């Protein structure tokens, strides 16, 4: 049977490979693992199973860069953190699994619905050939939201631009997810200097590298056009952005059959999507900032922030 070294809840689905491998005819078992995985379509099953969890990570990491389009004309530092909660849509809790023709020919259904990594119980499929065992597909974590904290510092101005630095050492926010770490940088450049508009306008962009344990590695890139306006100590802001992420989930297949060597396998996920956001920031005593931002796109999330303006 297969186990996953450095186990991580989002990678639990990869046990599908072992369950499918166990019922294969002996000739099929003799081939190398890479060819077997391609033949069975295990990568596609695992990718569909994992996608909602991966989207939650990728969407969260691109959140909370800026809560105002204004870049102060005097030297300033903003030091604080944003707490991100990305909600899991109900539709993401199940997916339609499609079995390869090799298994369908052995009496198993060609397709059926089962849980994703954030869903509930997995489906057990039965062959109409009594000699073949049932296949129990993995259930999910039941995760309702992916949460993370993002320490951040902004420094400026330099030619109307703020430099944004973000980072977090390996930290655990949810036992279902594991230890999460990231670092990255971005910029915010105010456009109001070039335009005659009754509000502040800026472009914001950033790049980040992140990891979950030793199984998940990823990078993200985000850009946003942001507008804001002030009413005393209250700032209202909104924006539209384009973002992407690239995530690899790597694991090692370990079989109880000594004739089959251990072999690393990697699943790659890419996503590009639009993000819309709006929110507010309250400044107290020109020192303390309380922020809230709601974003929607492939998933919705809420970012709550606390920081000091120095």
Distance CA 290, CA 307 (A): 7
* pLDDT surpasses 90 at 275: yes
At 101, give phi and psi (nearest 5°): -60, -30
Summarize pLDDT for 280-308 with one digit per residue, the tens. 999 999 899 999 999 998 899 999 999 99
- 180 vs 209, residue with greater confidence: 209
**Among 109-118, 125-134, 175-184, the least confident range:** 175-184
Which pair of structure tokens corresponds to residue 88? 């899991």
**253 pLDDT band (50/70/90 cuts)?**
low
**266 pLDDT band (50/70/90 cuts)?**
confident
Beta-bridge partner residues of 206: 186, 222
Summarize pLDDT for 131-146 with one digit per residue, the tens. 888 888 888 888 899 8
- 176 vs 76, residue with greater confidence: 76
With beta carbons less than 8 A apart as the criterion, state whether 275 and 240 touch: yes
**264 pLDDT band (50/70/90 cuts)?**
confident
Judged on CB neighbours under 10 Å (0-12, 13-18, 19+), 112 is middle
* pLDDT surpasses 70 at 164: yes
* Domain ranges, ordered by start, for the chain: 9-309
């Amino acid at each position: 049977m297969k186990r996953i070294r450095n186990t991580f809840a989002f990678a639990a689905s990869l046990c599908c490979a072992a369950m499918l491998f166990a019922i294969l005819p002996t000739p099929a078992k003799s081939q190398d693992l890479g060819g077997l995985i391609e033949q069975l379509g295990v990568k596609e099953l695992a990718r569909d199973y994992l996608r909602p969890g991966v989207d939650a990570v990728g969407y969260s990491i691109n959140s909370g860069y800026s809560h105002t389009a204004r870049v102060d004309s005097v030297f300033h530092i903003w030091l604080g953190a944003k707490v991100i909660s990305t909600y899991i849509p109900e539709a993401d809790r199940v997916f339609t699994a499609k079995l390869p023709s090799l298994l369908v020919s052995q009496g198993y259904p060609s397709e059926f619905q089962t849980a994703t990594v954030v869903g509930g119980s997995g489906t057990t499929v039965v062959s109409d050939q009594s000699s073949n065992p049932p296949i129990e597909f993995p259930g999910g974590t039941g995760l309702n939201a992916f949460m993370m904290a993002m320490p951040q510092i902004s420094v400026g101005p330099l030619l109307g631009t703020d430099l944004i630095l973000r980072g977090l050492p390996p930290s655990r926010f949810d036992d279902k997810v594991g230890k999460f770490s990231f670092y990255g940088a971005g910029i915010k450049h105010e456009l109001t200097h070039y335009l005659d508009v009754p509000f502040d306008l800026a472009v914001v962009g950033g790049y980040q590298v992140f990891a979950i344990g030793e199984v998940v590695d990823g990078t993200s890139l985000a850009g946003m056009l942001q507008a804001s306006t002030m009413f005393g100590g209250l700032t209202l802001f909104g924006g539209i952005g384009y973002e992407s992420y690239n995530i690899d989930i790597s694991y090692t297949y370990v079989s109880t059959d000594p004739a089959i060597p251990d072999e690393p396998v990697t699943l790659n996920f890419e996503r590009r999507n639009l993000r819309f956001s709006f929110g507010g920031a309250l400044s107290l005593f020109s020192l303390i900032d309380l922020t809230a931002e709601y974003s929607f796109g492939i998933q919705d999330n809420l970012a709550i922030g606390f920081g000091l303006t120095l």
